[in-house]
Chains A and B, each alone.
Chain A
Amino acid sequence: MMEFSTWDILRNLLLAARWTVVLSLVSFLGGGIVGALLLFLRIGGNRVLTAFTRYYVELFQGTPLLMQLFLAFFGLGLFGINVPAWLAAGIALVLWTAAFLAEIWRGCVEAVARGQWEASASLGMGYVQQMRYVILPQALKVAIPPTVGFSVQVVKGTALTSIIGFVELSKAGTVVTNATFQPFTVYGLVALIYFALCWPLSKSSQALERKLNAAHRNH
């Protein structure tokens, strides 16, 4: 039987962690773009589109990400395409991230005081100008901390893609465990690598939040 040193284990895990990072970035960026689109559909004032985005968000927030991954994987398969795991994983994570970001950002837009809409309207601005110059700059500032905070959920969410066969950090953990029979060490290290990825994001989200609150009290 082959012997594995802790360093061997760690090296293999870190190599796989690259894919966790890549998938996280793709999901977060893609989700951000789709999420922004959803946001504008939601607050654009068209009743049908508003209803659509509401149900979209409800659906993706009300069902397990794991099910969404399965449905993307097997659902795309129905079209006769042989779906690679990375594609199903990417699509599901982008759509899932978009739902959460759209909802977070909507909260930020709605947090802008009604008086801001009224004051800008009384100055003759139209809807697009109000959004562009008055509402979004304020909403954006409030949105940064929770958006950074949500990126932690995205990184953790990528772990589920191991279940449909995408080889990233979690999948590597299972593979390495099966080879080494050292689950305690391997999963402990896997957890620490995730922690190293997520903790800085959590901390910076909290720091940004504190900075924002301080700025609100006095400029």
Chain B
Amino acid sequence: MPLIEITDVRKRFGENEVLKGIDLDVKPGEVIAIIGKSGSGKSTLLRCINGLETIDGGSISVAGSQLLPDEVHLKALRLKVGMIFQQFNLFPHLTAGGNVILSQTVVKKTPKPEAAAMARKMLERVGLAEKFDAYPDELSGGQQQRVAIARALAMQPIALLCDEVTSALDPELVAEVLAVVRELAAEGMTLLMVTHEMKFARDVCSRVVFMHQGRVHEIGPPEDVFAKPKTPELKQFLGVQ
């Protein structure tokens, strides 16, 4: 029984159809990398799963929660899937701890002390226990992204969407974030990640999705996709002949 069911999803921006019927089922505990050129629709797909974009056709459901464009259904869906953004999007007026506490208290109505305890636990999990009282602009990019991960984890989602989580980072900060993601994968978290880190995708992922012009062009375990690309588009993308 798949955890995330994506069926014939279509999305257009004006004249431009960016998703032309996407089908993808994700089983619990799977780690899926979505690769492809910019403009292939991979980020849009991820944003659709979290309801940040409305879809024009098809359906998406996560553990029985259907994606429907009203606040009640969106909330139910978003409680099940967390999202990590390229630009971190931490709340600048709150401390790291405050960032992790906020949605627990206002969305899940968790009492403040419990939420704070959870925040400490999650920050510790991403290796930032000592940064509880630091404001986002006192943290490096890598630390900010790890706080963002802790913030999403504190909501206890059953899947995480990662949208190019290392693309905005200086090269020397990429590793610390990937290490956290790797650990999550090892712990059995279901992950759907758009990434440019091919080596990471090869090492960590159970399946790789290659998107091209709004479609799933090729899909399979990393050893097949990277070592034996079938289509010329994927070969060109990977730079092999």
User: Is there contact, CB below 8 Å, between B85 and A115?
Assistant: yes
- For B138, the chain A residues whose CB sits under 8 A away are 218-219
Q: A115-B87, A138-B92 in contact; A122/B106 too (CB < 8 A)?
A: no
Are the CB atoms of A118 and B89 closer together than 8 Å?
yes
B52 CB to nearest A CB, Å: 5
B216 at the interface (CB under 8 A from A): no
Which residues of B sit under 8 angstroms from A138, Cβ to Cβ? 91-93
Contact B106 A116 (CB under 8 A): no
Could you say which of B9-17, B55-63, B71-79, B115-123 contacts chain A? B71-79
Say whether B150 faces chain A, with CB atoms less than 8 Å apart.
no
Asked if residues B93 and A141 are in contact (CB atoms below 8 Å), the reply is yes
Beta-carbon contact of B52 and A125 below 8 Å: no
Q: Which residues of A contact B93 (CB under 8 A)?
A: 137-138, 141
Asked if B78 and A121 sit within 8 Å, CB to CB, the answer is: yes
CB within 8 Å of B: which of A79-127?
113, 115-116, 118-127
**Cβ–Cβ contact A126 & B75, under 8 A:** yes
Inter-chain contact B103/A124, CB cutoff 8 Å = yes
Could you say which of A115, A121, A123 contacts B151, with CB atoms under 8 Å apart? A123
Chain A residues bordering chain B, tally (CB within 8 A): 23
Interface residue tally for chain B (C-beta within 8 Å): 30
Say what secondary structure dominates the interface of chain A: helix
Question: In the assembled complex, how far is the CB of residue B136 from the closest CB belonging to chain A, in whole angstroms?
Answer: 8
B-side residues, CB < 8 A to A, are 50-52, 71, 74-75, 78-79, 82-83, 85, 87-93, 102-103, 106-108, 135, 137-138, 148, 151-152, 155
A-B residue pairs in contact (CB < 8 Å), sample of 29: A115-B85, A115-B87, A118-B52, A118-B85, A119-B90, A119-B91, A120-B91, A121-B51, A121-B74, A121-B78, A122-B50, A122-B78, A122-B83, A123-B78, A123-B82, A123-B102, A124-B79, A124-B103, A124-B108, A125-B106, A125-B107, A126-B71, A129-B107, A132-B106, A133-B102, A133-B106, A138-B91, A219-B135, A219-B137
- 19 additional A-B residue pairs with CB within 8 Å, beyond A122-B82, A126-B71: A113-B89, A115-B88, A118-B89, A119-B89, A120-B91, A120-B103, A121-B52, A122-B52, A122-B83, A123-B78, A123-B102, A123-B107, A124-B103, A124-B107, A124-B108, A132-B106, A138-B92, A138-B93, A218-B137
